[in-house]
Amino acid sequence: MRSLIIRINSDYLGITSSVLCLIHCLALPIIFIFTGYAGLNKTHILGIGVDYIFAILALVAAVYTARHAHLPYIKFSLIIGWLLFISGILLEEYGSWHYLMHFGSATLIFSHYHNIRTCNRIHCDNEH
């Protein structure tokens, strides 16, 4: 039962951090435009890259969920989602590559959600 709670919590951590990251990534440029900071990089305003905090949270959630996921394509999509996400962070200064963060976040959200649904459908709590 404890394993089920941790697994589902890792899915919820992954979904929450990915949704917050998407909100952060989509809302921050709008806030900068309205407040007059459009010419500044968001890292200059925030001091540290909040994206890296989201990346660490997403990695922890993705690794734990992937280790316990029952379906191979969920494991694969978690890995691909995180790689897209971190690639977008690392390449965000180079043109449109920052959109990889958005695709990665969306992939992580879908993967964690699908893992929760799959686990509920096959009754994971009876297996551990």
Polymer length in residues for the chain: 128
Domain count of the fold of the chain? 1
Rounded to 5 degrees, φ, ψ at 92 are: -65, -25
**Portion of the chain with pLDDT greater than 70, in percent:** 74
Asked if the model's pLDDT at residue 7 lies above 60, the reply is no
Average pLDDT of every residue of the chain: 77
**What pLDDT sits at residue 82?**
92
Exposed, middle or buried by CB within 10 Å (0-12, 13-18, 19+), for 33?
exposed
Domain that holds residue 85: 2-126
Exposed, middle or buried by CB within 10 Å (0-12, 13-18, 19+), for 56?
exposed
Report pLDDT digits (tens) over 65-86: 888 888 899 999 999 999 999 9
Asked if the model's pLDDT at residue 124 lies above 90, the reply is no
Asked if the model's pLDDT at residue 125 lies above 70, the reply is no
Query: What pTM was estimated for this model as a whole?
Result: 0.72
Q: How far apart are CA 82 and CA 75, in angstroms?
A: 11
Report pLDDT digits (tens) over 36-74: 655 555 554 553 477 788 888 888 888 888 888 888 999
